[in-house]
């Protein structure tokens, strides 16, 4: 072997060792280059609206987005438009079962592919890294998966989001009878891996068990609750004696008018012992200090009933959520496949999730003003669930759905985006007739439909001047999405203007500032809060010069390029 060839081989081996060192916790896989990732080094994504697909019912309704294209490109765009702005990411990625239903670099991956798991992990790693920074600090990430990649996915997510941020692994019974084609064990469950962006973030108060909702029949300034006895029987139904002095046995002292409670005996207070109405001595459910703390926080209620002091604890809507979800409403056939068939009039999509599964996930993780992202949108169940929950609780949640338009499971009915996802969301917003001819009322909301497009930039780490000009001319709709001003009102060779939600966004395309004063005068006449993006070769060139009380000046295209440079370093 020639010395030059040997040196080249050493360099290659050193590179492989460095890659292996990066994959800790036992997850070692060969990173497989993906066409779309390589493409992003010489072309950058922007958005182009498909105007005919816009559903605009009223300015007061939330602006929802659908992005058609490879989700790696869509996530790249969202890192500019929505970084740290998403409350919940829910995804249902390809499960890598070995069936011909998942493409990698435009080829289906089958079960005999020796790099099957490596390809899947590379595919997921690229997208998860882009997704993480989209979440707010208080945001959540939920990923559905089955047994095929459960263990590898868990390690990958622990590495990306941090093991300390894994807050649950939920088993969902989506088909109680199991799959008839399975051998040995017939799979009836799938899993959801739930992570918070920041350690210590708790899921929201919500009742997802329909049978328990009626229990929460009382309400205060914090929310709904029901009352439950504060003391419990210890051991096999027997009481304890005072002389035993167990850790949780103690008297408390309650003021005659019930306005205060104390652990110390005071004048005007009466002693209350933990005994039942039958006279058996009991222990409290918690230590004395915790009891008093809960009392002072209003979580303990003291009443006088039939001449006795009775003590209750408030049980809030949020109880500890079980990790085994078995409710029939999660059945993917009844509330996924058959529901979608009712909406679209035919069965053209395999294995959609139960609508009610997504609604319950939203209840636990997405507040009334949340922005929800699903970048494996498939049939659009996540978007449908957002609309249904808004209808149920009066919320203003928004969704962003990203999906490609690949052939729909070989059904011959067109691409997933155009033949399944978009028609479903359109039907839910506008209303539809089911197979029986019955009218189902729409749920009012807005939807803007975009496709990803690519701008040639030669090399992302050294973008030439001509490419910077091209990006500026092509980035208008992406900037409008960033500012949530989605309606284009004017475009010429010098500028582009968008309006929406009581504000304006304008992009000034040229280095030549001859027409900039004219544009600013036009914007000022509108007397609306305005974001003005001015072409510049660097950063912060014009903020001080052209900003006014109504106009906030931003640079373009350098901030966009910086985002894409950083993504290529991940």
Sorting pLDDT into bands at 50, 70 and 90, what band is 234?
Answer: very low
Q: Please report, for residues 463, 556, 566, the alpha-carbon distance to residue 559 in angstroms, rounded to integers and kept in the order given.
A: 13, 6, 11
Per CATH, domain 31-209+321-451 is 3.20.20.100: no
Residue ranges of alpha helices (H) inside 449-550 are 465-474, 476-483, 516-526, 543-546
Region 146-155: what's the mean pLDDT? 95
Region 376-405: what's the mean pLDDT? 97
Angle, nearest 10°, between helix axes 150-161 and 116-132? Answer: 30
Sorting pLDDT into bands at 50, 70 and 90, what band is 57?
Answer: confident
pTM over 0.75: yes
Residue, of 281 and 254, whose pLDDT is higher: 254
Instruction: Tell me the three-class secondary structure of 215-276, residue by residue.
Output: HCCEECCCCEEEEEECEECCCCCCCCCHHHCCCCCCCEEEECCCCCEECCCCCCEEEECCEC
Positions of E strands within 347-464: 371-374, 398-403, 432-433, 439-440, 446-456
Strand, coil or helix: 477: helix
Sorting pLDDT into bands at 50, 70 and 90, what band is 239?
Answer: very low
Strand, coil or helix: 136: strand
Sorting pLDDT into bands at 50, 70 and 90, what band is 545?
Answer: confident
Cis-peptide into 53, omega within 30 deg: no
CA atoms within 13 A on the CB side of 197: 19
Q: Is the pLDDT of residue 233 over 50?
A: no
Residue, of 224 and 462, whose pLDDT is higher: 462
- In the chain, domain spans: 1-30, 31-209+321-451, 217-316, 459-569
Scanning the structure block, which residue is given the tokens 């497989």?
Answer: 32
Tokens of 38: 């390589």
Region 383-408: what's the mean pLDDT? 94
């Amino acid at each position: 072997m020639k010395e030059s060839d040997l040196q080249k081989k050493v360099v290659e081996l050193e590179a492989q060792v460095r890659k292996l060192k990066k994959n800790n916790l036992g997850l070692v896989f060969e990173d497989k280059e993906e066409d779309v990732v390589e493409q992003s080094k010489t072309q950058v994504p922007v958005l182009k609206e498909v105007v005919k697909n816009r559903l605009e019912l009223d300015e007061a309704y939330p602006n929802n987005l659908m992005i058609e294209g490879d989700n790696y490109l869509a996530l790249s765009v969202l890192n500019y438009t929505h970084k740290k702005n998403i409350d919940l990411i829910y995804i249902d990625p390809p499960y890598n079962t070995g069936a011909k239903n998942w493409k990698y670099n435009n080829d289906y991956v089958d079960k005999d592919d020796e790099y099957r798991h490596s390809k899947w992990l590379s595919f997921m790693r690229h997208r998860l890294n882009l997704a993480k920074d989209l979440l707010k600090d208080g945001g959540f990430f939920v990923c559905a998966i089955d047994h095929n990649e459960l263990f590898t996915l868990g390690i990958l997510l622990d590495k990306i989001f941090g093991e300390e941020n894994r807050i649950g692994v939920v088993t969902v019974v989506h088909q109680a009878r199991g799959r008839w084609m399975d051998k040995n064990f017939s799979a009836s469950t799938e899993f959801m891996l739930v992570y918070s962006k920041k350690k210590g973030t708790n899921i929201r108060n919500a009742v997802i068990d329909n049978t328990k909702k009626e229990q929460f029949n009382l309400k205060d300034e914090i929310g709904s609750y029901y009352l439950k006895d504060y003391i419990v029987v210890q051991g096999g139904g027997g009481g304890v004696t005072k002389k035993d002095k167990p850790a949780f046995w103690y008297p408390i002292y309650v003021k005659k008018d019930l306005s205060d409670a104390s652990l110390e005996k005071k004048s005007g207070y009466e002693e209350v012992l933990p005994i039942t109405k039958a006279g058996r001595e009991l222990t409290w459910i918690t230590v004395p200090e915790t009891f008093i703390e809960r009392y002072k926080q209003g979580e303990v209620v003291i009443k006088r009933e039939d001449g006795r002091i009775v003590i209750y604890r408030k049980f809030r809507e949020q109880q500890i959520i079980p990790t085994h979800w078995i409710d029939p409403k999660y059945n993917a056939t009844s509330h996924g496949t058959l529901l979608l068939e009712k909406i679209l009039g035919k069965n053209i999509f395999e294995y959609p999730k139960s609508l009610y599964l997504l609604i319950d996930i939203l209840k636990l993780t997405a507040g009334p003003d949340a922005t929800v992202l699903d970048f494996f949108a498939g049939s659009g169940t996540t978007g449908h669930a957002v609309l249904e929950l808004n209808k149920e609780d009066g919320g203003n949640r928004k969704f962003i759905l990203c999906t490609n338009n690949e052939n729909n499971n070989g059904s011959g009915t067109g691409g997933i985006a155009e033949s399944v996802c978009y028609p479903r969301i359109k039907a839910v917003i506008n209303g539809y007739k089911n197979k029986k001819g019955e009218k189902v009322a729409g749920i009012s909301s807005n939807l803007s439909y975009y496709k990803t497009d690519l701008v040639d930039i030669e090399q992302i780490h050294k973008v030439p001047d001509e490419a910077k000009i091209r990006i500026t001319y092509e980035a208008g709709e992406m900037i409008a999405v960033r500012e949530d001003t989605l309606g284009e009102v004017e475009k010429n060779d010098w500028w582009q203007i968008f309006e929406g939600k009581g504000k304006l966004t304008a992009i000034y395309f040229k280095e030549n500032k001859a027409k900039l004063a004219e544009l600013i005068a036009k914007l000022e006449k509108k007397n609306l809060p305005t974001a003005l993006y001015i072409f510049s070769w660097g950063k912060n060139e014009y903020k001080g010069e052209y900003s006014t009380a109504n106009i906030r000046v931003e640079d373009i295209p350098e901030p966009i390029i910086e985002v894409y440079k950083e993504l290529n370093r991940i």
